[in-house]
Amino acid sequence: MSTGGPSLSIITTCKGRLAHLKESLPAMAAQPGAEVVVVDYDCPEATTAYVREHFPAVKVVKVEGRPYFNNWEARNIGAAQATAPLLVFVDADTMLAGDFATWVTGAVTPGTYGKMPNALELSIHKDDVLRNGANRLEGLIVMPAATFRDLEGYDALLQGWGAGGDTDLVDRLDFHQHKKVVLPEALVTRAIAHSDAERVRFHKLSISESHLIGLLYRTSKLSMMKLFDRELAREDRARLHALAVEAVRRRSPSAAGLDLTVLSNAVPGSNYTIEQKLMTRVIWKI
């Protein structure tokens, strides 16, 4: 770790979630050795003014001209302003424990990343039947800043609450053989409860549609990464994402599966026959 500067940067985003941020930001700002970056992603609630008045030491990045929320672009923007060697990405509805920073700075080292346990293992869900809209604490991820830069951040092509941008990032961390450090659940004191209507208020896609498009795109992309043994170029990813959108929107409302023929030319030079069969099996399980 570097000396003289923050040991970790906590990055959170806000669009229509100022009420949550008012609850969670004090715990973020109180973390020892931390700088906090709040991305005001075209929030209609004067988030920038509030943070600057009440938390002058917190960095605020104001983004304008974004009618729909893209958490992954917002997090990339926040990370670009972070200066610490360790990055913490956390949603505005997540309350951090007082010893959060101390624990993660000692546990998450180069070659590793930190993530909460699987949702089914979380005590907050011990009595729940998990649904797409449940808070699974998937948005809490810790990693070295150098690793994040090497991966070129989140895949901002993903759109909507259910698209799985955090899952995509973890898939890529695993692909590059970074070791997962399971964060103790006690590092989060509470996840602020809220409705699905609040979750999708500023999203163009429904949870189910964004989930299906994201699942098809992410699984197809990861299969191709394994096939080529490398990350895909952005133009190939953009083409694959557009085709995943087309496949989902061409599906028959009465059919359980999807027409995946649109993916056959996703990336030039790929043999997609095996991947089509894989995705057919995945989609039929939804």
3-class SS of residue 102: helix
Lowest mean pLDDT among 25-29, 94-98, 275-279: 275-279
Same domain, 137 and 235: no
Same domain, 121 and 220: no
Same domain, 183 and 233: no
64 located within any domain: yes
Same domain, 164 and 23: yes
Of 137, 171, 199, which marks where a domain is finished?
Answer: 199
112 located within any domain: yes
Domain that holds residue 52: 8-199
Same domain, 119 and 181: yes
- Give yes or no for a contact between 213 and 160, defined as CB atoms under 8 angstroms apart: yes
**Is residue 103's pLDDT more than 80?**
yes
2 located within any domain: no
3 located within any domain: no
Q: What is the CATH number of the domain that holds 53?
A: 3.90.550.10
Share of the chain above pLDDT 90, in %: 60
Same domain, 168 and 273: no
Among candidate residues 251, 243, 249, 248, the one with its CA nearest the CA of residue 268: 243
**Chain centroid to CA 224:** 21
Q: Give the number of other Cβ atoms within 10 Å of residue 2's Cβ.
A: 10
So what's the pLDDT on residue 273? Answer: 47
Burial class (CB in 10 A: 0-12, 13-18, 19+), 230: exposed
Say how many domains are in the chain: 2
68 located within any domain: yes
Same domain, 18 and 112: yes
Averaged pLDDT, 89-96: 96
Same domain, 124 and 244: no
pLDDT tens per residue across span 170-210: 999 999 999 999 999 999 998 888 777 888 888 888 888 89
Same domain, 213 and 114: no
99 located within any domain: yes
Of 147, 169, 199, which marks where a domain is finished?
Answer: 199
Same domain, 26 and 107: yes
> Contacts by 68-71 with C-beta closer than 8 Å and gap 24+?
68/159, 68/202, 68/203, 68/204, 69/15, 69/16, 69/41, 69/202, 69/203, 70/41, 70/156, 70/159, 71/13, 71/41, 71/139, 71/165
So what's the pLDDT on residue 272? Answer: 46
Same domain, 123 and 165: yes
- State the pTM of this model: 0.84
225 located within any domain: yes
pLDDT tens per residue across span 133-145: 344 688 999 999 9
Query: ∠ CA(204), CA(206), CA(209), 5° rounding?
Result: 110
**Is residue 265's pLDDT more than 70?**
no
Strand partners, 40: 14, 62
135 located within any domain: yes
**Is residue 102's pLDDT more than 80?**
yes
Of 199, 215, 249, which marks where a domain is finished?
Answer: 199
